[in-house]
Structure 1
Amino acid sequence: MRRFLAAAGFLLAFAGAAHWVVPMGREALALVTARDDAAGIADLQLAGVLTPERVAQEVDAALAEGDGEMAASFVELAQARGIPVSAERRARAALANAPGATFVRGAGRFGQGFLTGEAEDLAGLAGATAGDLTVWGDVRDLGREAWHWASGEPVDRLMVNLAGAGIVATGATYAAFGTPLTLRAGLSVLKGARRAGVMGGRLAGHLATTLKGGSKAAAARLVSDLGTAGTRAGTRATFAGLRHVDDAAGAARLRRLAEVKGGQTLAVVKTLGRGALFVTEAMAKLAFWVMAAVLNLFGLVSSFNAMVVATLRPLWKKKPRRSPFLPA
């Protein structure tokens, strides 16, 4: 009886713990399995944080700041995940992104960014990036760095390298009728990120090391990945993701996220931050939950087996043994 009660107690304890240990372990295992798929990581992590209340809060905050792009990204993300958004919020987000409204707000700053490459806001940054898609933007930046050199001021060698590569890429784009367009777009993204200060020191160092090492193919893949991300998700979303990119692997993850999420990418990065691309920071915690779930399942099976054995033990009949010394 004592064995039965002990086994039953363990079974109840493991069953109670399974209510929260097993689901957490299953979620952790899914995250660990999807660690190389940024889109899969984002989907799994959004399930726990993106609620209707969070969406409404983010949309209202973006609209209050006049940020129609962010509001529209959250509306698109919510609709893709089946989260209800009020008709009034959808209408306000659509109105904030109407072509006429955005043109009136940013036409002058766009032109200034196109001509000078200097930007104080998103409209100016868009103009600077548009200038980069032509030879003008690269010549402009090379001329600026040449003036810095002649004046004895510090020269941004990475910007010089990017502008020089941009001239070559632009010529190749026209010669091949637009074939290497993602490479050209990626260079524009990197130059814009450098000007906006969103390119981390690790990524800049990785690019410099890659170019010094003569691995031009690897550098071209990284730039093309960023170009694809910018084409699919937009320049601003790519800049937001670049804050968390340190190397070519991170650029590939950002490209994957942009390819799958498109216009939702900006909202995804705003919600999850670095967690939209990586799970390495939480890997130890995830491994703990996987192990806890496995041990819990093992405990359930073992305690159930012990309880069954304790229940059937009294029913077993022991056969009397014959002494080997007794005559047959």
Structure 2
Amino acid sequence: MAGQEAVIAPDVSYILAMYRFFAAFGFLLAFAGAAHWVVPAGRQAFALISARDDAARLADLQLDGVLTEVRTASEIDAALAENDGELATSFIELADARGVKVTAERRARVALANAPGASLARGAGRFGQGFLTGQGEDLAGLAGATMGDLTVWGDVRDLGREAVHWARGEPVDRFMVNLAGIGIVATGATYAAFGAPLTLRAGISVLKGARRAGVVGGRFAGTIAAAMRGGSKAQFAALAGDLGTAGSKAGTRATFAGLRHVDDAAGAARLRVLAQAKGGKTLAVVKTLGRGALFLTEALSRLAFWVMAGVLNLLGLIASFNSMVVAMLRPMWKKKRRWPLALPA
């Protein structure tokens, strides 16, 4: 019996070593296969986190895999169905910049929607509407609103409107009253400085139009109101200048779309950076990404998951490789066990 045990024991040890080796090898293959998905996602997550302070770079990274040919075609068709040549043009510009194919037929339809005759008629009407009412959602409307403000007509108009509300006992929008008062001062400064602070004047016009359009959130309105009441005048001037620059680079409509996601002065600065980098493409970027065009929002939890998954995958690869090597080399350094021989009585 003792002799049999001496023969069987080494075989069992060898079989267990082989089991350990193949188990570790199987885990290594599994982790290596998972790395095919985990590593690229983890790399993208790291890139997004690294670009969180650069709105333009952040938008470019998030557009990868989102702005496909199918998505672009559907957005252009939807814009044309609503006779929105500005949005359709913005998507074509964005597609061209990112190498996304757009059919010649769609390009022709967009060009027809933006034909000089049609756009001129639309532009004249919106310019007049912007001049008279201060409301404009495209470049022509913003030009009319800004022209009205630069002639002091716009600020007087807004003050008169709120005065009528006060006389009727209706609620008065003090936010608009403050903006109109600051606008009159800014208009005087613009003429005195021969147009130097024009971006500030344009930014105030953007704020007034955004307020009427209902795209200024409560938190952002509170930030602006605090700056106007007793806060830093330099902070308000910088904020309004950022919005004026965004409006001049990307258009009022894109600025309004971005303002829906802005809560503070830092958000306004992000919007300016995005508008300066993307220009006419800004409207399509914001339409595609929403708040994600400016911030890391709901993607943050997904990014954290992929970073953790990447770390765990790396640890799994190291651990399984180490186990496989140990299982393979163990029989070489394991001393053979000596079994006592049965002595005759």
What per-residue deviation string (whole Å, max 9, x for no partner) do you get for residues 132-176 of structure 1?
Answer: 343221121112212222232221111111111111112212222
Q: How far is the alpha carbon of 1:122 from its aligned partner?
A: 8.6
Change (3 A) 1:263 1:125: closer
Contact map agreement 1:129 1:192 (CA 8 A) in 2: no
Alignment pair present for 1:211 and 2:228: yes
- Counterpart amino acid of residue 147 in structure 1: V
TM-score (norm 1): 0.91
Q: Decide whether aligned partners of structure 1 residues 196 and 14 sit closer, same or farther in structure 2, where only a CA change above 3 A counts.
A: same
Q: Does 1:51 align with 2:51?
A: no
Find out whether 1:234 has 2:270 as its counterpart: no
Q: Retained in 1: the 8 A contact 2:139–2:251?
A: no
Task: Give the number of equivalent residue pairs.
Answer: 320
- Look up the match of 1:268: 285
1:126 Cα offset (Å): 5.6
TM-align CA RMSD: 2.2
Change over 3 Å in CA distance of 1:129–1:98 after alignment to 2: farther
Larger Rg computed on CA atoms: 2
Task: Give per-residue Cα distances to partners, 1:288-315, cap 9 Å, x unaligned.
Answer: 2101101101211221122123222333
- Preserved CA contact (<8 Å) 2:246 2:275: yes
In structure 1, C-alpha distance between the alignment counterparts of 2:21 and 2:73, rounded to whole Å: 54
Matching of residues 13-92 of structure 1 within 5 Å: 13-92=30-109
Q: TM-score, normalised by structure 2?
A: 0.86
Q: 1:76 to 1:133 in 2, by over 3 A?
A: farther
Q: Is the 8 A contact 1:133 1:188 kept in 2?
A: no
C-alpha deviation, 1:69, in angstroms: 0.2
Shift of 1:123: 6.2
- Larger deviation, residues 148-157 vs 53-62: 148-157
Cα offset, 1:108, TM superposition: 3.4
Q: Does the C-alpha gap of structure 1 residues 260 and 129 become closer, same or farther in structure 2, counting only changes over 3 Å?
A: same
Higher mean Cα deviation, 71-80 or 30-39?
Answer: 30-39
SS in 2 for 1:148: helix
Where do 5+ consecutive residues of structure 1 fail to align?
Answer: 321-328
Q: Which amino acid aligns with 1:182?
A: T
1:2 equivalent to 2:37? Answer no
Distance 1:206 1:142 in 2: 22
AA aligned to 1:35 is R
Change (3 A) 1:130 1:197: farther
**Could you say which residue in structure 1 is the equivalent of 2:294?**
277
CA distance in structure 2 between the aligned counterparts of 1:89 and 1:133, rounded to whole angstroms: 39
Q: Indicate the residue corresponding to 1:325 in structure 2.
A: none
Closer/same/farther in 2, CA of residues 241 and 140 from structure 1, 3 Å limit: same
Q: Distance in 2 between matches of 1:116 and 1:232?
A: 23
| Aligned residue number for residue 216 of structure 2 | 199
CA distance in 2 between counterparts of 1:49 and 1:121 reads 26
Larger mean CA deviation between 137-146 and 101-110 belongs to 101-110
1:180 counterpart (197, 210, 214):
197
Whole-angstrom distance in 2 between the partners of 1:315 and 1:132: 88
Q: Distance in 1 between matches of 2:175 and 2:90?
A: 32
Q: Deviations along 1:233-259, whole A, 9 cap, x unmatched?
A: 011100010111111111111111111
Contact 2:178–2:228 (CA under 8 A) maintained in structure 1: no
> Which structure 2 segments of 5+ residues have no match?
1-17, 338-345
Q: Which residue of the partner structure matches residue 144 of structure 1? A: 161
Q: In the alignment, what sits opposite 1:312?
A: 329
Does residue 259 (structure 1) correspond to residue 280 (structure 2)? The answer is: no
Aligned residue number for residue 3 of structure 2:
none
